[in-house]
Amino acid sequence: MFYYTATHDPLKIKVGTVDMEIDLGAERLLAAERGEEKIAVEIKSFLASASAISEFHTALGQFINYRAALRREEPTRILYLAVPDLVYNSFFQLDFPSSILQENAVKIIVYDIKLEQISLWKE
């Protein structure tokens, strides 16, 4: 099991003159031999739009931009995209979204909205 401690809410990143805010900065406690890992989490609900593909485009674009900013400004911090389990278990399992996530090496946190807990960390 993984545990995390929020360290920034939101995590503010400045790249040159561009300001960005990633939803959450945190430290994740891993197995004892790995210690703590600094992470950033962009949380998406996929509830704001009737179009899952439109929400996917937005989420993926933000993820790619935030990851690039973190590589420049906080290279030790790992970015995750957090999505509800309903979205992950349906839309994210379709061929196109699944292949795009794999091509872009998107790390995912799946969360259960009702239980308010993380159900899966996908590296």
Q: Tell me what the pLDDT averaged over the chain comes to.
A: 83
Q: Does pTM surpass 0.85?
A: no
Burial (CB count within 10 angstroms: exposed 0-12, middle 13-18, buried 19+), residue 16: exposed
The whole-number pLDDT of residue 110 equals: 93
pLDDT in tens, 29-67: 443 444 577 888 888 888 766 788 999 998 999 999 999
Residue 106 pLDDT more than 60? yes
